[in-house]
Amino acid sequence: MAARTMKVKAVLVAVLLAVAAFMGGGSAKQAAAGTAAPSDASQIVADMGAGWNLGNQLEANANGYPSETAWGNPRITQALIDKVQAEGFKTIRIPVSYLRNIGPGPDYAIDSSWLNRVQEVVDYAYNRGMYVVINMHGDGFKTIDGSWLICDSSSQTEIKDKYQKVWQQIASRFQSYDEHLILESMNEEFDGQYGQPTQPCYSNINDYNQIFVDTVRQAGGNNSSRWLLIPGWNTNIDYTAGDYGFALPTDEYRSPSIPGDEHRIMISVHYYDPWDFTGEESGTITQWGPAATDPSKTSTWGQEDFLDGQLKKMYDRFVTKGYPVVVGEYGAIDKSSFDSASNTYRADFARTLAATAKKYGAVSIYWDNGFNGQYGFGLFDRNSHAVTQPGIISAIMSGVGGG
């Protein structure tokens, strides 16, 4: 999630296994699934269905060391993932930070116990037949202890070497996984300032994406044909679809079995507009959409027509050219303590985003930070696994055509 929302997060305050995994070990499903025929762009979007983020867990950290319980959530369990799937979600995005679990150069070795845990959590969903997205999440936030993927740093030679070696390890670990595992190059990468993109920062982001694609493709196994997900500047729609410097990476190392006119790269954006409704921690703006009853509680911008226009930009720039779009995060915080109807409008927002994404050939993945109550994004209680926002889940399923 965006750096400006870290205040929400702040409130929430083995060697043999590693060797086996690096040698291609894994479940029986992984071995069998490697022979599955890859989907084309429109098919994989349909197959991914409704998505859900396992937020504030594997990207959480304490003093720069990743810790899945550091931001107030319990240890992830198979039962939680099973509940998420039972509610109709087909895709889980698992944000992951590496930070100080990366050793020194020149090898930049990832701590084996951490990579083992990442794989274990991936398997909770992957072995159930779900699509799974994993990324490099907090490593690019200047506000996070231990961050290093900083696009306006003067140490770009070292950063790019480290980035390449870390992704080589991750891709090698997961090389036997089929197309149900999607790798995402990074998260909301930008210079930390909420203005227009700057140079050479954007050029470095483009370089990271190119390094990512080249590294994963050459890491062996199914990586040569895997779907890869890349963002532009801060996963911002305007700065990705518009003329601000985003460059699609070349994909020269992909499998020759993929038809020349078919891509295996997806474009990642996030959607939290209007921010005064979706994320601003106050009780001022609590309503959204055509059903809003109080103009004083409704934002003056960012309504349905704006949302439609934004996703159409992504459709026109990328989907029409065969590059699927993934709205990797969206949602609105709970303001029901200020307006008893708040969750109804949150559901309207979620339904509209999911439906509009589907209309324009995009996947939508709801942001859930595990926090319920005032200002929370949670749809589930991660301790009891109970559904806390059935109306929003129902709205999402309705939006994607699954309910």
To 5 degrees, how large is the angle CA 223–CA 123–CA 382? Answer: 130
How far apart, in whole angstroms, are the C-alpha atoms of residue 67 and residue 44? 32
DSSP, collapsed to helix, strand or coil, labels residue 138 as helix
User: Is 120 in the active site?
Assistant: no
User: Is 329 in the active site?
Assistant: yes
Helices within 234-291 (DSSP H only): 237-241, 275-278
Which residue in 399, 358, 366 sits closest to 46, CA to CA? 358
Instruction: Catalytic residue, from 87, 188, 189, 280: name it.
Output: 188
How far apart, in whole angstroms, are the C-alpha atoms of residue 280 and residue 157? 38
**387 beta partners:** 380
How far apart, in whole angstroms, are the C-alpha atoms of residue 61 and residue 69? 8
DSSP, collapsed to helix, strand or coil, labels residue 125 as helix
Instruction: Catalytic residue, from 184, 189, 280, 329: name it.
Output: 329
To 5 degrees, how large is the angle CA 117–CA 121–CA 125? Answer: 160
Active-site amino acid positions? 188, 329
